[in-house]
Structure 1
Amino acid sequence: MTSTPHRKPVLDKPFVLDLFAGPGGLDVAAHVLDVPSLGIEWDRSACLTRYAAGLDTLHADVSAVRREAFESLPPEINVLAGGPPCQTYSVAGSGVGRKALDEVKGYIERLMAGDADEEIDKELKNLTDPRTALVLEPLRYAIQATRSPNRGNRPYDVIVLEQVPAVEALWDHYALVLESIGLPDGTTYKAEVAVLDTETYGVPQTRSRAVLIARREGLGEPFLPEPTHRAYEAKEWNRRNGKLAAVEGVHQPALDEEIDPRPMTRGRKAEGPLPWVSMRMALPGRKKPFLVRSNYGSSGNPGRRGVRTDQQPAATVTGRISRFVVFEHLNHDIVYEGPRFSMNEAGMLQTFPPGYPWSGTAQAQQVGNAVPPLFGAHLLSAALGLPAPDPEALREPWVPATEEERAKLRSQGCGAADDCTARCPHPEDQAPPRSAPRKKKASVQ
């Protein structure tokens, strides 16, 4: 295990601006660290969850705020964070994702060179999928901060970004230009980029994320959070625990045996001192042993798909978490289908506190899209030089906002205490275009 870096607070009063804030993963992380935050989120239901949780929120389009309302943001914000939508950056399939990455790298260099926003915005409208441009927003916010009279043209001190592993190449390019070129005003940063596994930070699921942590030059070298738990390794698990039980034709370890929770780590991972956290540990309300079946892989790793016992971490929690089938153990030979995960349980697998007030529609999608708060707290604490977060703080029941508090937050975020207003975005504003019909290949004569 590598030595733990000495942690010294980077900022006297950190204040986080969370772009694409979702239902509040990074904001809950900031809350645990006693750091104020403001989230910008365009989805109405995610905002309802945030208001119910008592989180400061703007129900708005991130791009629109930058263009039209940047000067209204609190000037004391000094930490920029977020995870832009990633759907267009998959490197699988036809190569469209690779093309998007290359296009965005070109726009990054042009923005750093000081090209006019109007010219770039005009070109971005011609992209195949408008969401491709959203990954530029953190950089555009960083540049806008240096042009803001309300801030005294002061740059952000710290930047923290996270996304799916396919975006690592883009974060690498972010880091390169932040260090070697700098913002148009000359501000440069020191940056670290890596793909981290959330189970190595105490999150009870296997979920890999590409992260970037940057500090403004002069604030010290940035460092990645030190893993606190061992990595989950499916092959080693299967080797150690070969006893099998049949569940609708799928063979997995039996439920009636205690299984050694000490998997081997991958060679590239630092081994933490603790075993990874299992679903059983994360969901103490589930009194009976159980199996969970999912129908997809995790982070492109086929070894992480299929059925897992409650003594393993969950597969990646996505918007399909409500489709996970849970089997409970009746006796040594019989397993039957039990109740599926509630939204509260799904949130706890993401390390949201018990009783987090999921609201609105598409709640499973909200849960799946969120940054796991414990992982987010590790990222923020490393970026800000704060002590590592206490996982127990996220196991305490969340205290929802009162009706009066929700009304106040919604008045600030939407413009009215009980409803959205004309300034709120509509879902179709960022909907991807319909796919063009695929052309048939000409036959060879």
Structure 2
Amino acid sequence: MNATQAVHLFAGPGGLEVGAMDRGVHGVGIEWDANAVATRRAAGLPTIHGDVRKHGPADFPQATVLTGGPPCQTFTVAGAGAGRAALADVLGAVKRMGVREAVDPAVLGDERTGLVLEPLRWVLEAADAGRPYEAVVLEQVQQVQQVWDAYAEVLRAEGYSVATGVLRTEQYGLPQTRRRAVLVARLGGPVALPEPSRRPYRRGVAQDAGDARLAPWVSMGEALPERGPFTVVSNYGTGGDPKNRGRRTSGEPAFTVTGKISRLRLIDPDGRELPRLSHSEAGRLQGFPADWPWSGSDISQQIGNACPPPLATALIEAVLQRQPAAEAA
């Protein structure tokens, strides 16, 4: 049986592909950042080093699955917020695209904001060419949820079943608390968000407490067993106080992994400083294999920007209703 083919927009260092390949979905990724491209090529992932705006569905006629995670810098609360400020204009642009009105992304200000419209352009172009994608998977920071909801209205008008929501990644096996806005869409049948397989993390609540039908969340210590016990001191302040650094022990999931993960301090039970996280360790907290061949420079940023592979696996499984490749064989 031929493998399902996908095109991955804003493909980064390969997080979506790791999850997709686990469900028998293979394809090509488009990525403009040279450092992420170096990692992708070291990992053997088919890659086009370029701008998604310079390509379209006609370039990939065999692809039946579209995935993407547009840049988040203008939407995340850690950024300046240009995307959030332009949200009404973005939502209006989505509606106009749905009725095939021309949209100039330049009116949205920061060009990175306009990139959130690119997956929709691809979906609509494919549909208009008579080769609609069978499945669509998108993920972003939770502030983009309203954009995905607007996408959903357009995609339903195109005949898709669509589900959107904000998922807690520790409930899908990631040793990290990270919330992501997601969209899954499918032609030819209903679709729903993936059911969580693990319990949500609650500070002060034991790992084995909660819904017995769900497995416990995964701790940093379980992901990095060679480290022994440690405490992580966050690079961010909490409660609005930059001096009030959050702390978590290795018996808890990590804080949200960002491009500043290399700044995290680790201390042992006696308060002594430990070596900072290696790239392999940081990658494992983001759900990548320990031997992922991180390459190029700015690797911490690559890791922080990546889609967590366990989340990608759950999303692909939900939209294609497919078991792991090994089980399906």
TM-score, structure 2 normalization: 0.91
**Which residue of 2 is the match for residue 429 of structure 1?**
none
Do structure 1's residue 221 and structure 2's residue 190 form an aligned pair?
yes
The residue identity in structure 2 corresponding to 1:380 is I
* Aligned partners of 1:325 and 1:337 also within 8 Å: yes
Which of 364, 377, 393 is the matching residue for 2:300? 364
How many Å separate the matches in 2 of 1:312 and 1:225? 23
Distance 2:277 2:308 in 1: 17
Q: Which one-letter code corresponds to 1:233 in the other structure?
A: R
Provide the residue aligned with 1:195 in structure 2: 166
Contact map agreement 1:91 1:97 (CA 8 A) in 2? no
Query: 1:71 matched to which residue of 2?
Result: 58
Query: How many Å separate the matches in 2 of 1:352 and 1:92?
Result: 23
**Contact 1:43–1:59 under 8 Å retained in 2:** yes
Q: Which residue of 2 aligns with 1:175?
A: 152
Q: 1:92 to 1:308 in 2, by over 3 A?
A: closer
Is 1:318 paired with 2:304? no
In the alignment, does 2:75 pair up with 1:89?
Answer: yes
Distance in 2 between the 1:22 and 1:55 partners? 11
1:16 aligns with 2:6: yes
Q: SS where residue 292 of structure 1 aligns?
A: strand
Kept after mapping to 1: 8 A contact 2:149/2:164: yes
Aligned pairs for 1:108-119 within 5 A: 108-116=94-102
SS across alignment from 2:86: helix
SS in 2 for 1:220: coil
Q: Which has the higher strand share?
A: 2
CA distance in 1, matches of 2:190, 2:28: 26
Residue 160 of structure 2 corresponds to residue 146 of structure 1: no
Report the identity percentage: 49
Distance 2:199 2:324 in 1: 16
d(CA) in 2 for partners of 1:284, 1:30: 27
Cα deviations by residue, 1:359-416 (Å, 9 ceiling, x for unpaired): 00100000010011111111111111012689xxxxxxxxxxxxxxxxxxxxxxxxxx
Query: Do the aligned residues in 2 keep the contact of 1:80 with 1:158 (CA within 8 Å)?
Result: yes
Matched with 1:256 is none
Cα RMSD (Å): 2.5
Q: Give, in whole Å, the separation in 1 of the partners of 2:254 and 2:202.
A: 13
User: Is contact 1:90–1:166 with CA below 8 Å preserved after alignment?
Assistant: yes
Q: 1:335 offset after TM fit, Å?
A: 2.0
What is the deviation of 1:93? 9.9
Quick one: which amino acid aligns to residue 275 of structure 1? Answer: P
* Aligned mate of 1:48, from 38, 43, 51: 38
CA deviation vs aligned residue, 1:204-232 (integer Å, no higher than 9, x gap): 0000001111112xx21101111111100
Equivalent in the alignment of 2:89: 103
- Give 1:143 shift: 1.2
User: What secondary structure sits across from 2:35 in the alignment?
Assistant: helix
Unpaired segments ≥5 residues, structure 2: none
AA aligned opposite 2:27: S
Q: Determine the C-alpha separation between the residues in 2 that align with 1:95 and 1:371.
A: 21
Q: Quote the offset at 1:126 in angstroms.
A: 3.6
**Partners in 1 of 2:279 and 2:81 — Cα distance?**
36
Structure 1 segments of 4+ aligned residues over 3 angstroms from their partners: 90-99
1:380 has 2:321 as partner: no
Partner of residue 426, structure 1: none
State the distance in 2 between where 1:35 and 1:94 align: 36
1:131 corresponds in structure 2 to 112
Which amino acid counterpart does residue 72 of structure 1 have in structure 2?
Answer: D
Describe the superposition over 1:287-313 as per-residue Cα deviations: whole angstroms up to 9, x where unpaired: x31111113279x9x9xx711111100
- The change in CA–CA distance for 1:321 and 1:263 in structure 2 (over 3 A counts) is farther
Which amino acid is 1:188 matched to?
G
> What CA deviation, in whole Å up to 9, does each residue of 1:260-298 have, x standing for no partner?
423558xxxxx7521100111101221x31111113279
User: 1:86 Cα deviation (Å)?
Assistant: 2.1
| Distance 1:389-1:198 versus aligned 2 partners, 3 A rule | farther
Q: With structure 1 as the length reference, what TM-score do the two structures score?
A: 0.68
Please state whether the residue corresponding to 1:213 is helix, strand or coil: strand
State the partner residue of 2:220.
279
1:374/1:389 contact within 8 Å kept? no
- Give CA deviations for 1:304-327 in whole Å, capped at 9, x if unaligned: x71111110000111011001011
Is the 2:265–2:273 Cα contact (8 Å) retained in structure 1? yes
What are the ranges of 5 or more consecutive residues in structure 1 without an aligned counterpart? 1-10, 238-259, 266-270, 391-445
Instruction: Work out which of the two has the higher radius of gyration on C-alpha atoms and give 1 or 2.
Output: 1
Hey, what's the Cα distance between the residues in 1 that align with 2:85 and 2:263?
Answer: 33
Q: Does the 8 A contact of 1:378 with 1:388 survive in 2?
A: no
Q: 1:91 to 1:174 in 2, by over 3 A?
A: farther
Matched with 1:351 is 287
Matched, 1:25 2:15: yes
Letter in 1 for 2:59: S
Note if 1:293 corresponds to 2:201. Answer: no
